[in-house]
Structure 1
């Protein structure tokens, strides 16, 4: 029997019944024995509501402990969970449900019900220590689907991948930095790979999962400190918000952190320096994809020597940089990155065309560009599809953003294209500045560093549009920051 629930719930409950498994956002502690009982009760409830093996079930929940236990209960009964993020518009949730075959929606809130789908409500008060429970774990094979993971969609339409029980079991066999001591893990949003994957792995190793009171930076920082978190997962944006709350005069605010893993996007040197000084020196930078798992990991020692690297390949992954003909290139040469991993999914769910484009000859192509140095460390240069055509010149949007963010006054930067009244494109940048009075200084800096590739138009913003995992939604910038009529008529490069 390969059902993941046996690995992450019932086996730890037998071996370590009194160990803390889940610490809820209100501070309530569930031991592994209690967590197993809660999963059994939820499984009983779901079965009585008609959930059957193989059924696709939409889950609209907000990333707290009941959300996790519900996902485990669905796996126990052999159902396939499909995340329908509660922050997404109803139309988008309904489209995902219909596209991927969900027949019902599970949630605590009836406000998240969808037209035409059965709604199954969850009321915490119904799940008591003496309530009915079902420990029957549906037998599965390694190839049986467990979860449909949907990407955040920053590089186009959202993509869906099926995690099988075998795929999840393989990912759970990997270990986190920090030795064999018991871990207290703070993960990201369970609706995404960067949250659900680490949560399952922590349970498989009988560690404790800790949920903050809310996803706000203030509550996350409070949880890191008061709950003595040893392992945390954050996006660069989230981590930078926390470092900003701590302030420049505080050092090592989270002394219990053995591993602060930054995922989703690259850190720039300024962000990395602030995190290492203010939060913890134990910063790790991971690079990978939902499709292939964590492909590389940069350790604190690597980042000390090479702040821009995303590290060396993981033990279960092979990473190559190739040219247009598909041949590996020498160290230092920029090319397209491809990944081959034992944690790799087989393709995109119900999307053969996209599968053939991105999964080729056993390799996954994440559409990233980069290079490998003489030590075998990987560096990301940008995305293949982030090259912007501006008047015939190909501009790397991520390189522009990275250059702007290197200025100490710039907190966030997003590069995008505007069009003049005559249709001619020009490069713009949206900036979040620590001091708006330094805009001219930033413009001069960009001109000196980027020359003719520097933006010709700048807008100031309080925040940039981001996904739930913290990635800049670059394709929304032009609509979010439209040019003035004068800008569109004749944009000019700032005088410097």
Structure 2
């Protein structure tokens, strides 16, 4: 791998790339693609991650962010990507094949500069255009996952669990790269599974004797349904992330899988912020999302920006050496998000007396009912607290009578039939009349977006 990185760095240098130049990477998930990422970083390039599945307008937006070259491979060389200078990993008509470059015998010289932007990784774009989070080389050098000499005991144990890591998704995701690092730097092997038509979880775990991976909440639920048909006893670390999971379901997952389940909380802008370990879960600590990593500071603040004491709910702010430097080309949004070195997560929550972080919703995941702000997160928690409900998803939609109305979608617990009237009464009793959903729809499951997260907005298309 190091030799491949050296060769590709020479090819990228010959193509005119180096410190401060930007290369947009849209490739399949392959060893060569990872080597190209590392080679571009060694040269000090700005690596622009292009996620699969972008609609044309979002793709044009991402490729229009001061990109000097686009890197593709034979599987991703779509016409809309063949603009400007195109590089490739493999034979692509009209592109420079980096793998065919003869290379040289010189050493791999790292020319990255600490304060240059190393990567643009993008938010999901669910609120419009994807925002490019600018991560500097200095921040990557301080990142918990990439510095094994400074790993905490928790991080070191986690890395040991990733001895054989099930690697899937896209290298354009900071989450994928963040958890690939402990595998490789801990001496492990990343396994990229071939598609055999069956769910990766649990069948690829059994086939490749996987010891560790990351998993979204919907995939975890599906995996638990299929456990009777697969052997996943090789697992030692399974990181659940991407969206909240009900405490009852987290306990059930740990009971079925054993002491291997971690829960992580983070954002594209901040990386992984907090982690709940199997030891925490075994001790009955399942309500919070974890303790912050060493070097990560948390501050919970009210609407006026004043810090709140433990136990009080407010907006969560994060400060660490590896948060983003800002949103590329969006100074207004950067000013609104970064405050005196602190990152506004726009998540609501509190820190308890033991230092554990608890999430309570999104400050922007709101519905305006009769001009009253109603948060989706607390409603979802109340609904999933009912024994008839396994999952709950709340969204808002325009309403002639109230401006917006709350609509809830619930996935029933096995063998249960949720009573919509009883659920509505439960929300009314705990949160008040404004939070009561106008409709409660029982669904077999939630659609999943390309990011792997629940696509709550897609549920509305079946309602109206």
Q: TM-score band, normalised by the shorter chain?
A: 0.7 to 0.9
8 A contact 2:9–2:43 mirrored in 1: yes
How far apart are 1:246 and its partner, in Å? 1.0
How far apart are 1:388 and its partner, in Å? 1.2
8 A contact 2:134–2:328 mirrored in 1: yes
Residues 285 and 203 of structure 1: is their aligned pair in 2 closer, same or farther, counting only changes over 3 Å?
same
Give 1:300's match in structure 2, choosing from 278, 281, 293.
278
How far apart are 1:382 and its partner, in Å? 0.5
Moved more, 306-315 or 211-220: 211-220
Moved more, 271-280 or 365-374: 271-280
Match of 2:131 in 1: 159
How far apart are 1:357 and its partner, in Å? 0.9
Match of 2:6 in 1: 40
8 A contact 1:236–1:265 mirrored in 2: yes
**Inter-partner Cα distance in structure 2 for 1:429 and 1:276:** 27
Match of 1:374 in 2: 353
**Inter-partner Cα distance in structure 2 for 1:163 and 1:461:** 39
**Inter-partner Cα distance in structure 1 for 2:345 and 2:401:** 35
1:228 matches 2:209: yes
| 1:99-110 correspondence runs (5 A) | 99-108=65-74, 109-110=76-77
Match of 2:88 in 1: 121
How far apart are 1:396 and its partner, in Å? 1.8
8 A contact 2:69–2:87 mirrored in 1: no
SS of match in other structure, 1:427: strand
1:140-167 CA-to-partner distances (Å, cap 9, x unmatched) read: 2222332211112345542212222232
How far apart are 1:340 and its partner, in Å? 1.1
Residues 297 and 130 of structure 1: is their aligned pair in 2 closer, same or farther, counting only changes over 3 Å?
same
Match of 1:145 in 2: 117
Match of 1:3 in 2: none
8 A contact 1:54–1:79 mirrored in 2: yes
**Inter-partner Cα distance in structure 1 for 2:226 and 2:156:** 26
8 A contact 2:370–2:402 mirrored in 1: no
1:277 matches 2:255: yes
SS of match in other structure, 1:343: coil
8 A contact 1:194–1:263 mirrored in 2: no
Match of 1:12 in 2: none
SS of match in other structure, 2:382: helix
1:256 matches 2:259: no
**Inter-partner Cα distance in structure 1 for 2:389 and 2:100:** 52
1:288 matches 2:255: no
1:139-198 CA-to-partner distances (Å, cap 9, x unmatched) read: 222223322111123455422122222322221115325278582223453221110122
Match of 2:45 in 1: 79
How far apart are 1:96 and its partner, in Å? 0.8
SS of match in other structure, 1:356: helix
**Inter-partner Cα distance in structure 2 for 1:177 and 1:136:** 28
**Inter-partner Cα distance in structure 1 for 2:59 and 2:197:** 24
**Inter-partner Cα distance in structure 1 for 2:400 and 2:44:** 57
Moved more, 168-177 or 282-291: 168-177
1:205-252 CA-to-partner distances (Å, cap 9, x unmatched) read: 4332222224987224233233333332222222222222214x98xx
**Inter-partner Cα distance in structure 2 for 1:442 and 1:260:** 34
**Inter-partner Cα distance in structure 2 for 1:400 and 1:354:** 28
Residues 164 and 421 of structure 1: is their aligned pair in 2 closer, same or farther, counting only changes over 3 Å?
closer
Match of 1:206 in 2: 187
TM value normalised by structure 2: 0.84
Residues 66 and 55 of structure 1: is their aligned pair in 2 closer, same or farther, counting only changes over 3 Å?
same
8 A contact 1:387–1:397 mirrored in 2: yes
1:219 matches 2:196: no
**Inter-partner Cα distance in structure 2 for 1:88 and 1:179:** 32
Match of 2:462 in 1: 481
SS of match in other structure, 2:345: coil
Q: Which runs of 5+ in 2 are unaligned?
A: none
How far apart are 1:37 and its partner, in Å? 2.5
How far apart are 1:368 and its partner, in Å? 0.9
8 A contact 1:82–1:102 mirrored in 2: no
**Inter-partner Cα distance in structure 1 for 2:387 and 2:91:** 47
Q: Which runs of 5+ in 1 are unaligned?
A: 1-34, 484-496
TM value normalised by structure 1: 0.79
Moved more, 198-207 or 305-314: 198-207
Residues 421 and 482 of structure 1: is their aligned pair in 2 closer, same or farther, counting only changes over 3 Å?
farther
8 A contact 2:4–2:32 mirrored in 1: no
Residues 244 and 445 of structure 1: is their aligned pair in 2 closer, same or farther, counting only changes over 3 Å?
farther
